[in-house]
Amino acid sequence: MWTCKNLWKKLAPLARSSSTLCRQNARGVVLNNERRLPLVPQAHMSSGTPGSGGDNNLYYLLVGATCVGGGFYAYRTIKGDKERYQERINEIASRPNKVVPEQPITEAPGEQAAETPQEPSVEPSPIEDTEELPAPVVESEPTPVAESLPAETAEPQTTTESAAEPATVAPAEVPAPTPVEFPSHAPYLLIGGGTASFAAARSIRARDPGARVLIITDEPDLPYMRPPLSKELWFSDDPSVVDTLRFKQWNGKERSIYFQPPSFYVSPQDLEKVENGGVAVLTGKKVVHMDVRGNKVTLSDNTEISYDKCLIATGGVPRNLQVIERAGEEVTKRTTLFRKVEDFKALDKVSRDTKSITIIGGGFLGSELACALGRRSADSDLEVIQMFPEKGNMGKVLPEYLSNWTTAKVKSEGVTVITEALVKAVSYKDGKVEIKLKDGRVVKTDHVVAAVGLEPSVELAKSAGLEVDSDFGGFRVNAELQARSNIWVAGDAACFYDIRLGRRRVEHHDHAVVSGRLAGENMTGANKPYWHQSMFWSDLGPDVGYEAIGIVDSSLPTVGVFAKATAKDTPKAATEKSGTGIRSESETEGTASSPVASSTPEPPPVPEQKDNYGKGVIFYLRDKVVVGIILWNVFNRMPVARKIIKDGEEHADLNEVAKLFNIHED
């Protein structure tokens, strides 16, 4: 083939020049004699003198040989490729058959010892034989056993036991087919396994009974309620409460922190198969990327799941102090960021094994944990310390006089309260965590609980192209809680626009319930705006509690109206009457349409009441309009408070407004 090609390169120019010369001569004769000469076809392709035909035959021969050679070369090439392709297919198809029967170890001198491990109950003695295992046997072993035994692979010198061990596990080298753990597509995909996701799932199923809902959570637990983690669970007398996570509410009724038992859910692998749909929970998985154009998400293990409609309810993560983050590993190991079930279990163990715990933070969570641990310290030698930069507990929420009263209440539970404490440095010395304050005070403790707020989880914002609010944090959503087409946000991570109070972000149980429920309805086509004024509550044990709504900020002007409390004005009595300990489930029982005003004379002004804050109502004002209300040991009156904020009117005398809550009735 190569010779023909070279020969053609040499002869082709001669052929072309000869043909050109013939055409020029013929053209000249025609012009001179004014007549056309008879055509001689051979002369057009001749490389010799006109009229001769031998060279033409050679030309045709060369062209024909070239075509035949090219065809033969193409045939051999295609045939060779086909054979190599078939060999590759056969090799791939035979791979599983090579792994199972392959037992090169039996060729070693210790053949009898290598055969016996086929029975799992028989193992050779480690000192029976010390013959060498040939190096080619180890090098030719392609199975995962060689990787799991680096010592045997690295050293040719080995014992019979080393030779027998791979044969023992050889039957397990062919893994069984891994079952599909989750569907590749979910019509309704809910990211996050908290209260908002569960409320959305129930709402979706209520409007679309055949809906298939998949909840993805990075926690190992099924959806559960968080409030009992810092409240009722700590007051349980059951020593197994850490395992059962069942507790008695203030009314004495027992319940679990889980919204539903495992039997309520369908398994993820069966979600696409069940006839009437259902709710499946994929635990221990984290969504790390969202493709909003392709309507799919990517998990931390690179698995992709597509969706039709998606809810982001990722909640938040506890904030930490920078001084603790920089303090080193020893301090980090002795610090709890309280948020999840595992945090409750860990702190419960710490409270039983250590001598002192210091809680940094004076807000809702910090004060609740301080009271809970303080009451537990009465039966043990545990020292409980609470420190915060404000002048009193919940100083950012309550007016100063009520904050001071709350601080006294916390102290009465056996807690050492350190106010106006700014942490400067944290270190670990002599087996203790040492906390240095900016005013020079030093606190030594065994364990630290950082309860300094929540940071909304917005890691998906970048990949999903979602907007994060620069002032409040969280995903910015419209009135229908929608962030983008087919994507909604609910719970702690949602920054929504309140038509009365402006843009807000709320981190409370009731908001998670209501926003999750509304998002679920809108995912099924309801298109409802979010107008609900969510409430929140906090209990300092079974005797003192409050419910709040709207903007409750101690920097705003406040007006408080109080009355003497009775035995029924406690969280315990309220739950006994309503039958539930989660007051967001019962706060709608009251009605705002028919308030009953009390005929009792107006109470004296707040300053004259001194420390008698048994029960009452605190109004928070902005431009003389009520924007927030706290009901102090007043329960099941939240609809009245919600209506007052919704009306947005100025009130000349808030004492008259307080009568709507019936606080002066016995």
In contact, 620 and 551? CB cutoff 8 Å: yes
Say which CATH topology domain 319-453 has.
Answer: FAD/NAD(P)-binding domain (3.50.50)
pLDDT digits (tens, 9 = 90+) for 137-177: 333 333 333 333 333 333 434 333 333 333 333 444 444 44
Beta-bridge partner residues of 547: 537, 631
Kindly report which listed range (23-27, 41-45, 337-341, 626-630) carries the lowest average pLDDT score.
41-45
Residue 560, judged by CB atoms within 10 A of its CB (0-12, 13-18, 19+), counts as: buried
pLDDT at 440 > cutoff 60: yes
* Identity of the amino acid at 404: N
Q: pLDDT (tens digit, 9 = 90+) per residue, 288-303?
A: 999 999 999 999 999 9
Separation between Cα atoms, residue 640 and residue 579, nearest integer Å: 20
One-letter amino acid for residue 605 of the chain: P
Q: What is the pLDDT of residue 574?
A: 65
Which two structure tokens, joined as six digits, stand for 94? 């035979």
What confidence tier does 600 reach under pLDDT thresholds 50, 70, 90? Answer: very low
How much is the CA Rg of the chain, to the nearest whole Å? 41
Residue 166 and residue 146 in contact, taking contact as beta carbons nearer than 8 Å: yes
Tell the residue number behind the tokens 């005797």, with chain if given.
543
pLDDT at residue 500 in the model: 79
The pLDDT score that the predictor gives to residue 23 is 56
Residue 599, pLDDT above cutoff 80: no
Whether this prediction's pTM lies above 0.85 is answered by: no
pLDDT, position 59: 76
Q: What is the pLDDT of residue 572?
A: 64
Neighbours of 503 (CB within 10 A): 13
What is the predicted pLDDT for the residue at 544? 78
Calculate mean pLDDT across residues 403-426: 94
Q: What is the pLDDT of residue 490?
A: 97
Phi and psi at residue 439, to the nearest 5°: -90, 10
Is the model's pLDDT at 25 over the cut of 60? no
Residue bearing the bigger pLDDT, 95 or 229 = 229
Mind listing the pLDDT tens digit for each residue in 300-335? 999 999 999 999 999 999 999 999 999 999 999 999
In this prediction, residue 10 carries a pLDDT of 62
Residue 608 has pLDDT above 60, yes or no: no
Predicted local distance difference test score (pLDDT) of residue 252 = 72
Asked if 616 and 556 touch (Cβ cutoff 8 Å), the reply is no
Query: What φ, ψ does residue 550 adopt, rounded to 5°?
Result: 80, -155
Mean pLDDT over 582-609 rounds to 41
**Would you say the C-alpha torsion 146, 151, 156, 159 has a positive or negative sign?**
negative
- Out of 318-327, 391-400, 518-527, 655-664, least confident range: 655-664
In terms of C-beta density within 10 A (0-12 exposed, 13-18 middle, 19 or more buried), how is residue 204 classed?
buried
> Which tokens is 10 given?
């040499």
The answer to whether 214 touches 276, Cβ cutoff 8 Å, is: no
Given a cut of 50, is residue 591 above it in pLDDT?
Answer: no
612 or 520: which leads in pLDDT: 520
What pLDDT is recorded for position 613?
80
- Using the structure block, give the residue that is written with the tokens 């404490």: 421
Domain residue ranges in the chain:
185-223+260-315+457-524, 319-453, 535-661
Q: Is the pLDDT score of 180 beyond 90?
A: no
Please name the CATH architecture into which domain 535-661 falls. Answer: 2-Layer Sandwich (3.30)
> With contact defined as beta carbons under 8 Å apart, do 271 and 247 qualify?
no
Q: Would you state the pLDDT for residue 181?
A: 65
Q: What is the 3-state secondary structure (H, E, C) of 136-193?
A: HHHHCCCCCHHHHCHHHHHCCCCCHHHHHHHHHHHHHCCCCCCCCCCCCEEEEEEECC
Tell me the pLDDT tens digit for each residue of 457-494.
999 999 999 999 999 999 999 989 999 999 999 999 99
pLDDT, tens digit (0-9, with 9 covering 90-100), for 43-83:
444 444 454 556 677 777 888 888 888 888 888 888 777 77
Confidence class of residue 248 from pLDDT cuts 50, 70 and 90? confident
Question: At 192, which amino acid appears?
Answer: G
**Residues composing the chain:** 666
Q: What is the mean pLDDT of the chain?
A: 79
CATH class of the domain defined by 185-223+260-315+457-524: alpha beta
**Encoded tokens for 552:** 């409750």
* DSSP bridge partners of 418: 387
Query: Is 319-453 the same fold as 185-223+260-315+457-524?
Result: yes
* Per-residue pLDDT, 567: 67
The reported pLDDT for the residue numbered 597 is 39
- Which residues, including other chains, have CB under 8 Å from residue 238's CB and lie 6 or more apart? 244, 246, 247
Q: Which residues contact 613 (CB under 8 A, 6 or more apart)?
A: 401, 402, 405, 562, 632
- Residue 205, by phi and psi: left (phi above 0), alpha (psi -120 to 50) or beta? alpha
* pLDDT (mean) for 85-106: 54
Average pLDDT of 623-648? 92
